[in-house]
Structure 1
Amino acid sequence: MATIQKQVTDRDIETLLMSLDPPRIIIPDCDPKQFEKIISVNSRFLQMSLIKGQLEIMPPLPFHIESSAEKLQIIGQVGCWCDDNKNLVGIPSSSQGGFRLLKLEDPNYPNKHTVLSPGCAVVLKPRWDSLTDEAQKVSFPPVTPNFIIELYSRYDYVQNLHQKMVQWVNAGVDEAISINLNIDPTEIRIYSFNPEANKVVWQTMKDPVEVRSQVLEGFVLNMEKVRMYKK
């Protein structure tokens, strides 16, 4: 009997990926040196996080030019603000950089580090200058950004990214912005810590023209430019 082979399309791959919950590989008990070796070889191809010594690897996903253009717009706008405010900035970062988040680590297990990579981040000068010269030069400096932006991809699970945003704020981020362009209307969430309620809170915006930061003085994210290549 002849075998009928079905050609696998990009849509078939997307459907498979979205059926996984979530599509990731978990490696327990990954020490900091192992993590640095793994990420130095694979960071251009895989998205990786270290959570209390557990390595989480997101497999490569299909490339979409729209997402790339949107990320470039966000990083470009934040970069322009940093260029114009060099006296306020310690260091900016993209998804290629990572930070060790001490507040999320268990002091009883000093070798189980937590390292996350934001889509876009800014560490302001006072926080960056509080590090020693040696700490500033390590691969994943032990400092929490003051400000981050995360952009949903079409493969993200909303609840997973929400949990990551809460993690960022619990780690000490003053303002964490998530942007979801995959729904209509566009949804922006601005996360922060409410000391009176002693918990992470967030404000939701629907299809805003701009987003004004309360942490980066004078920074306004132009959402029309971010969405300009969105079909």
Structure 2
Amino acid sequence: MTAITINFNNVVKLNVDQFYQLCRDNPDVKFERNQLGEIIIMPPTGGETGKCNASMIADFVIWNRQTKLAEVFDSSTCFKLPNGSDRSPDVSWIKLERWNVLKPEQREKFPPIAPDFVLELMSSSDSLSETQAKMQEYVNAGVKLGWLIDRKTRRVEIYRQGQPKEILEFPTSLCGEDILPGFVLDLQIIWN
């Protein structure tokens, strides 16, 4: 099953509140919206991808509880990015000082903020070119560090502000650099 993109723009252009309500009215469907306003229906992940996502998010949460530097979000969280898109990375992380500036009602809906870090784990239904475009969209929106992990090819693409993407073939771990200070993701949980 692949993602489906629907363009309703000639019929109706959903504003922020209408898109939020669409998502609330259809909790069994995962929606995203690109910067053109097109609605993207995301298929559920398979068991292996879900297992890997759960392991990764656990590593981020445990590390973050120790450092108390930020807030960690799972793939159910949709962010309203500055370019008008609404995206839900598999893992995202926002520094506390940035998160705490948001008003409670902004935190409750789709937070209008680009995370400091995002991670996308490719599932078998994902298109590489579409996910790469999404990663570039994150960086353009202000994300400082992004990891695109492709389990099938055992390849990782690292996206950084103001730099060309870096491609790693079958790395054993990833370092959080100065964005996630001291964080190391052991990729054996992904490759095994």
Asked if 1:221 corresponds to 2:188, the answer is: no
Query: What's the offset of the Cα at 1:59?
Result: 5.4
Partner of 1:48: 31
Aligned Cα root-mean-square deviation (Å): 1.9
Any residues of structure 2 matched to 1:1-231 within 5 Å, and which? 23-28=4-9, 29-43=13-27, 45-52=28-35, 54-58=37-41, 60=43, 64-86=46-68, 88-89=69-70, 91-102=71-82, 104=83, 113-135=84-106, 137-183=107-153, 186-194=154-162, 201-214=164-177, 215-228=179-192
* Aligned partners of 2:23 and 2:31 also within 8 Å: yes
Ranges in structure 1 where 5+ consecutive residues have no aligned partner: 1-13, 105-112, 195-199
1:54 partner SS? coil
Spell out, residue by residue over 1:185-230, the C-alpha distance to the aligned partner (whole angstroms, 9 max, x if none): x000110122xxxxx52111111110011111100001002233xx
1:150 partner SS? strand
Query: What's the offset of the Cα at 1:167?
Result: 0.3
Give the Cα separation in 1 of the matches to 2:142 and 2:165.
15
TM-score by length of 2: 0.89
Counting aligned pairs with the same residue, the percent is 24
Amino acid at match of 2:58: G
Ranges in structure 2 where 5+ consecutive residues have no aligned partner: none
TM-score by length of 1: 0.75
